[in-house]
Amino acid sequence: MSEKKHRTGAISRRGFLKALGVGSAGALVPAAPALAAQERVPAPSDGELATLLDLSKCIGCGACVEACRESNAAKFPEPVKPFPAMLPSRRAKPEDWSDLRDVDDRLTPYNWLFLQNAEVEYRGESYDINIPRRCMHCQNPPCANMCPFGAANKQVNGLTRISPNLCFGGAKCRTVCPWHIPQRQSGVGPYRHVLPRLAGNGVMYKCDRCYQLLDKGELPACIAACPEDVQTIGPRHEIVARAQALAKEMDGFIYGLEENGGTNTLYVSPVPFELINQAIDKDSGPGANRRAGKKSGQGKRKRSPLGPGKPHMGPVKDVMADEANLATAAFIAPVAGIAAGVLGLGSKLLNKGEGDHED
Amino acid sequence: MKTRPYPAWISRLFILLVAALTCTGFMQMPLAKRYALTTLPGMAWTGDFFLVHRIHYVLGTVLLFLVALVAVNWLKSWRNWLALTGLGLARAVVVGGLVVSGLLRVYRNLPGVTLDPTWILTIEWTHLILVMVLGVLALVALARRASAYAVRK
């Protein structure tokens, strides 16, 4: 199938467009504030905001990647070296991206958005799909729900943020994220001052949907900079309706509506995401083991020593669904306990053998 | 050991639940893999964050039932012939705080619930600090050989 692929532009479309100056649209984005002023984002009181990415429009120019870096540069880590010697050193290894700040073909603490490419054949036609990848901003995010320190949180406007002042960099958020999105930088954050050898390993970083711009009602940088209007942002119910209409119009497919119980990032594509997932360069999620195993000719998964940074696009069940079901039991339990006590069951149980009991 | 005027199974179940909850609670932190707990025979499950989280919920549910049952019986009759010890009262207050902050934690995790990050931080750290306080109080009670929560009036 790969031989039949339509290859024009696949190799250097990004470079070609950059050479033409289209790719540097991000640099021209002194126009962006003006655009943002015209097209303001609804206030958080309108509910959760979601983004829609029309993959049929993305030309892979990289303007969003550049704009993301510029907009968030002040948030990037400046680690103190040498890193604290951690215990046990064999298991707690530092992750250092500070000398690899230019890497833009995966997610890193210095690159919160990157482009994936999928060349797929569908219904006899070849498609060259470019996919801007960043945090999915789940509706019920496991990274936030399961962070033991409250460092990761979902905001009422639907975005998930990690506070660098609270994060110890244990990377649990990356483990429980179905796409393993957050990335770690060692040598920065509160662990250096609390228990540098024994607890923590840095701070986790990921897309925060340019909250500093959203708070002012402005568009996130990646949306404002896009020369092709790939992305749209708005109240989730409107974005969902728009995504469904767009999918119907192009006879296409939606990713993010059901995945992990629903996300605030919706992708619409003219080709099935199953095919995209098979074609993209990924190192996490369903099929990653099998794929890496086949490729390397080994049974063992081949992983980057700096953690996964290329998310998959496979199906994702709602990873917090069981917890939600158990929550019902937790809320019923005290009521049941009270009822049992009032009805006398408690008396029978608790007063049985009443008297002095050995500890 | 000092005798206590309420059934031993309550003490045993309570101690078992609190110990297991403390263990699964601390395993919410990414410690199991780093400190090789997962390599011990039969302990691999401690590295599965979702499994540990679910076990914590189940244990919490049983504790909530037990605490509610005991509280109702206390109000109905036990308070007439039992008196909380000083350490018993302190630990009861702490357990109450753990129950409330734990329930708020569960509420926070429900789909569709989004609390203010400051509230989340308060709930999170209250829960974490209270369990440490409970541990200290339990040690003091053990050292003083006065681990009973209540004694006969």
User: Residues 79 to 98 of B: which have CB under 8 A from any A CB?
Assistant: none
pLDDT of residue A5: 36
Helix (H) or strand (E) holding B151: strand B150-152
Domain annotation covers residue B153: no
Domain annotation covers residue B16: yes
Q: Which of B69, B106, B123 sits opposite A327 (nearest CB)?
A: B106
Residues B109 and B144 in one domain: yes
Q: Total structural domains in chain B?
A: 2
Residues B3 and B77 in one domain: yes
DSSP single-letter state for residue A262: -
**Predicted TM-score of the model (pTM):** 0.86
Residues B39 and B69 in one domain: yes
pLDDT digits (tens, 9 = 90+) for A52-93: 999 999 999 999 999 999 999 999 999 999 999 999 998 999
Residues B32 and B107 in one domain: no
**Mean pLDDT (chain B, rounded):** 93
Given B82, B108, B127, the domain boundary residue is B82
Q: Which two tokens stand for residue A106?
A: 């995966």
pLDDT of residue A21: 39
- B5–A326 CB contact, under 8 Å: no
Domain annotation covers residue B137: yes
pLDDT of residue B11: 87
CA–CA separation, A288 and A237 (whole Å): 33
pLDDT at A12 over 70: no
Find chain B residues with C-beta within 8 A of A319's C-beta: 50
Residues B59 and B76 in one domain: yes
Residue of A111, A115, A156 whose CA lies nearest to A132: A115
Residues B18 and B60 in one domain: yes
Given B82, B102, B133, the domain boundary residue is B82
- B28–A358 CB contact, under 8 Å: no
**Mean pLDDT (chain A, rounded):** 84
Residues in CB range of A251: below 8 A, 6 or more apart: A270
- Pick B3 or A29 by higher pLDDT: B3
Residues B90 and B46 in one domain: no
One-letter amino acid of A274: E
pLDDT at A7 over 80: no
Query: Can you tell me which residue has the tokens 């655009």?
Result: A35
User: Residues 112 to 151 of B: which have CB under 8 A from any A CB?
Assistant: 112, 114, 116-117, 120-121, 123-125, 128, 147-148
Residue A351: C-alpha distances to residues B14, B67, B149 (Å): 16, 15, 16
CA–CA separation, A349 and A341 (whole Å): 10
Residues B63 and B118 in one domain: no
* Residue A122: φ, ψ to 5°: -145, 125
Residue of A53, A236, A45 whose CA lies nearest to A140: A236
- Please give the average per-residue pLDDT across A163-177, as a whole number: 97
Domain annotation covers residue B126: yes
pLDDT of residue A47: 83
DSSP reduced 3-state for A135: coil
Residues B67 and B9 in one domain: yes
Residue A308: C-alpha distances to residues A303, A311, B70 (Å): 7, 8, 49
Domain annotation covers residue B47: yes
DSSP reduced 3-state for B152: strand
- B72–A338 CB contact, under 8 Å: yes
Domain annotation covers residue B25: yes
If one counts every other C-beta atom within 10 angstroms of the C-beta of residue B79, the result is 13
Query: Can you tell me which residue has the tokens 């002012």?
Result: A216
pLDDT band at A285 (very low <50, low <70, confident <90, very high): low
Residues B15 and B50 in one domain: yes
Residues B132 and B96 in one domain: yes
- Please give the average per-residue pLDDT across A113-134, as a whole number: 97
User: Regarding beta strands A114-122 and A265-269, do their DSSP bridges make them parallel or antiparallel, or are they unpaired?
Assistant: unpaired
Find chain A residues with C-beta within 8 A of B72's C-beta: 337-338, 340-342, 346
Given B37, B56, B82, the domain boundary residue is B82
pLDDT at B33 over 50: yes
Domain annotation covers residue B88: yes
pLDDT at A297 over 90: no
- Please give the average per-residue pLDDT across A162-189, as a whole number: 97
If one counts every other C-beta atom within 10 angstroms of the C-beta of residue A80, the result is 11
pLDDT at A10 over 80: no
Domain annotation covers residue B53: yes
What is the predicted ipTM?
0.92
Domain limits for position B131: 84-148
Residues B15 and B58 in one domain: yes
pLDDT digits (tens, 9 = 90+) for A237-281: 999 999 999 999 999 999 999 999 999 999 999 999 999 999 999
